[in-house]
Structures are given as C-alpha cells and as structure tokens.
Amino acid sequence: MKSALKNKILFAASECAPFAKVGGLADVIGSLPKALKKIGADVSVILPFYGKIKIEKEKTKVLKEKLSIFFDGEKRFFNLHQSFLENSNVPLILVESEKYFEGDIYLTEDASSEGSEKEAERFFFFSKVAIKTAEILNFSIIHCHDWHTGIIPFLAKKNNLKFKTILTIHNLGYQGIYDSKIANRFLGSEFQNDINCLRIALSGADIITTVSPNYAKEILTPEFGFGLEEKIKKRKKDLFGIINGIDEEQFSPKEDSYIAQKYSEKELDLKKENKKFLQKEYFKKVDLSVPIIGVISRLAEQKGFDLIRDSFERLMKKNIQLIILGKGMKEFEDFFQSKNKEYPGKFFAKIGFDENLAHQIYAGADMFLIPSHFEPCGLGQLIAMKYGTIPIARAVGGLKDTIEHKKTGFLFEKPESQELLNAIKDSLSFYRKEKIWKKIQTEGMKQDFSWQNSAQKYLEIYRDLTRV
C-alpha cells in the first residue's frame, strides 16, 4: 500500500452539504473529502460562514481571529472558525465576515450570478481569504470548485504563490463574468476587458478536472463548451474527467430513516410500502398499478424543465403519477405550482427543499426523470438507482456514463419533448413486464457509486502535483 499523502489539501467552494446547499456541488464538497481522508489525504474544506448557516455552538471553535487581507482598497478583517464535515473528522474552516457573507449563498434568484456585483465582491473576497488561509496554515494544494473560486488559480500563477491549484468544473454554464471595473476595484487589478472567472481559472490551474469522463469530452465541443471550448482544448493534456460518487451511507434504502419502509435488493417487494406512502400522502390516491415518476432538481433550464413543461399535458394523459420537488426559476415554479390544482391525484409539485420528501421520492417512485440539456455528472440518477428507482434521462454528460440503456435505465438522445415522451412510453411498456423491470432495478442497485475509486484518482493527481 502506498504511504499517506503528506501534503495538506484545501478544498475551496461556495457550497457544502448540509450547511450550505443549492445543488450537487454541495453534495460533492460534503462527501468527497471524507472519502479522501479515508485513504490517507490530509484534507480540509474552506467555506464562507454565510449568515444563514446554523451550527450549534459546541460544534465550532474559533481558529484565528482578526486576520486581514487587502481588498477593495482597504485592510479588511475576518475570523476563521473551525468545525467538521458531518459525521467526520474532516476540518471545515468557516470564514466569518459580517460585511461579505450575510444571508444566503447566492444573491440572484436562479443562482446564475449574472451581473450581481455583490456576488462578485463576496466570492472575490472569499477567494483571497482562501489564499491567505492556505499560506498561514501551510496548505500545499488548493482544490478550487467552479467559478466562485476561479481567481485563486489565476492569482496563484500570476503572483508565483507556493501552493499548487486544481480547478474542478462542476458546471460550465456558470462562469462569473464581470465588468473589468468591478474586478479592478475589488482586486486592485488592471483588467482591460470583462473578467471571466472560469476562463482565467482555466489558464491558472495546474490541473483541471470535471465530474465525468463524458463531460470532459463534451466540453471540447461548441455544443457544450459555452464559448470556452478552445481554451479548454489548449489544456487537454491536463484535463481529467472523474466521475462523482455519492455517500452510500447517507443514501441507502437499507438504512434510510426518512422512509416508511427500509428494503434491500433482495426484498424489493417492500419498496411498494414506500410507494403506498407517497401515494397516500401526496396524491391522496393509492393504486399500486400506476407508476410514479419522480423529479428532484434545481428548477433550471439546464435540467430540461422546458421539456417537461412542453410535454406536460400529453404526460398527464398517460396512466402515471408525477411528483416534482425543487426550487429555482420563477417561471418553472409558477407553472408547476399552478398545475397542482388542475391535476389532483395525478400531479404533485412541492417548491422548495425538503430532505424528507426527497428520500421518500427516491424510495417510493418507480422512475426518476432527468431530461437535462447538459449534465456534468448528475447525482440524482445515482441515488435513484441505489433505491431501485429507474432513471429516464437524456444521454448526455455523466448521465450517459452512469446509465446503461435498458439495462439500468432509459436514455434518449435529442432534447425534444417528443423524445422525452417516447422514452417514458418505452419505460412504461417495460414496467408492465414485472420480471424484466425487477432485473433492471436490481442491476442498478448493485452498481458501485461510492467515492472510493474516484477518490483514488484525485489522490493520484495530488501526488503527481506535489512530487518533487
């Protein structure tokens, strides 16, 4: 066995479950470091101490007080608190600053950050604090995630700082683009043109990773590259696609305390109790022969809610029940909310976050729908498969890497509502063949979606980077 990695690694990100979560980014930051720790990496996470984060007093202690950086033309102070990732001994460093981290994570309704000067200020400040922290506490690698921490690799390279940087792209659709005046004011820099945080990170980072092998290929093309494909191509030899895992302890139908009835792949019949529960509770209509399709997602364009909306009336003609949980763009929230009244017994949408209901859907639904336009990895399909809930998904990004058509789920090619309907139709005909259906369910439940293999790949990267 190889010796433990001696170097200290700092994860820098805007989200970390369960403390601050909007999407899958949070799940990764909340779970990958634990898997890395298990295989010998000395890893910590740094996160803004957003006003809305609630941690019991006894779970945090002050690590450093009255530290400062030069920012927005002045010396600005902050404190570091230390806690731990949930159920682990992975240090979580929380940056406290009333001025910069009040309230929620993102300050725009759809988390797109577009044009929000406040958000630029917030994440520029956080990134500079992460650099300072790495210096004080002797980290050798900062592992940055998405545009929010994009100026870290840039500044590290420009100023010849002594730690290495990795950029992991979780979503190329968000790049953090700001007027040069904004950046220059906060950073004291001299940008002539707009600054694009993801673009500059792509130049500065020593290594670039993204969250599935297929997405790593897709982002080299104009269709998925969001204008950065040429830039990424130049870094192709430093680009790796590493598939995300899930915390298999947190998502296990055998041990899930949120669900009505626990079960395993050997007692699949028990899953029906969860379906009954879902039907009774949310549809007020129990009929086990009617398949339930579940959706749990940010209500964003990326996730294909336009396709669900456009096929909605046709979907409602089918003998199914549909349940949607999530929040995001107002246009989708309003649309689905309004359908609640129109289709009682057939459709139910809950706008918001609800951990309880999320687990109940994973356990109680028959199918899980993810019609994304693009999907760097996708975690919902992995969780659904673990619960014997069969994914129906578009064949893109990580969905294509993790779902096998008609073996563990159903895939469709084009982002069109007719294709979506055909895939659902296909799945319904399989649903009626109980034996085959069970086989698909069992096959999915048996897959290894743990972090183990992927954590090993990250560890290799850290090792290579710090080899002298």
Alpha-carbon distance of 93 to 115, in angstroms, equals 28
By CB under 6 A, tell whether 245 contacts ligand GLC: no
By CB under 6 A, tell whether 295 contacts ligand GLC: no
- What tokens does 448 get? 């290894």
CB 363 within 8 A of CB 338: no
Q: How deeply is 316 buried, as exposed, middle or buried, from its count of CB atoms within 10 A (0-12, 13-18, 19+)?
A: middle
Residues 152-171 that bind ligand GLC (CB under 6 A): 170-171
Note the Cα 105 to chain centre separation in Å: 14
- Give backbone dihedrals phi and psi of 45, rounded to 5 degrees, phi first: -120, 140
| DSSP structure class, residue 5 | P
CB 394 within 8 A of CB 415: yes
* Region of 20-28, 264-272, 322-330, 449-457 interacting with ligand GLC (CB under 6 A): 20-28
Among 9, 23, 34, 371, binds ligand GLC (CB under 6 A): 23
Among 16, 17, 25, 53, binds ligand GLC (CB under 6 A): 25
Residues 352-371 that bind ligand GLC (CB under 6 A): none
Residues 393-422 that bind ligand GLC (CB under 6 A): 398
Among 127, 244, 389, 417, binds ligand GLC (CB under 6 A): 244
* Region of 24-32, 108-116, 229-237, 443-451 interacting with ligand GLC (CB under 6 A): 24-32
Alpha-carbon distance of 440 to 429, in angstroms, equals 13
By CB under 6 A, tell whether 241 contacts ligand GLC: no
By CB under 6 A, tell whether 379 contacts ligand GLC: yes
* Region of 17-25, 49-57, 305-313, 315-323 interacting with ligand GLC (CB under 6 A): 17-25
Note the Cα 114 to chain centre separation in Å: 19
For 134, 206, 249, 293, the CA distances from 300, given in Å and listed in that order, are 34, 31, 28, 19
CB 67 within 8 A of CB 125: no
By CB under 6 A, tell whether 211 contacts ligand GLC: yes
**315 versus 384: smaller Cβ distance to ligand GLC:** 384
**Strand pairing partners for 42?**
8
**346 versus 394: smaller Cβ distance to ligand GLC:** 394
Among 10, 28, 93, 216, binds ligand GLC (CB under 6 A): 28
Q: Which residues bind ligand GLC (CB under 6 A)?
A: 23-25, 28, 170-171, 211, 244, 375-379, 398
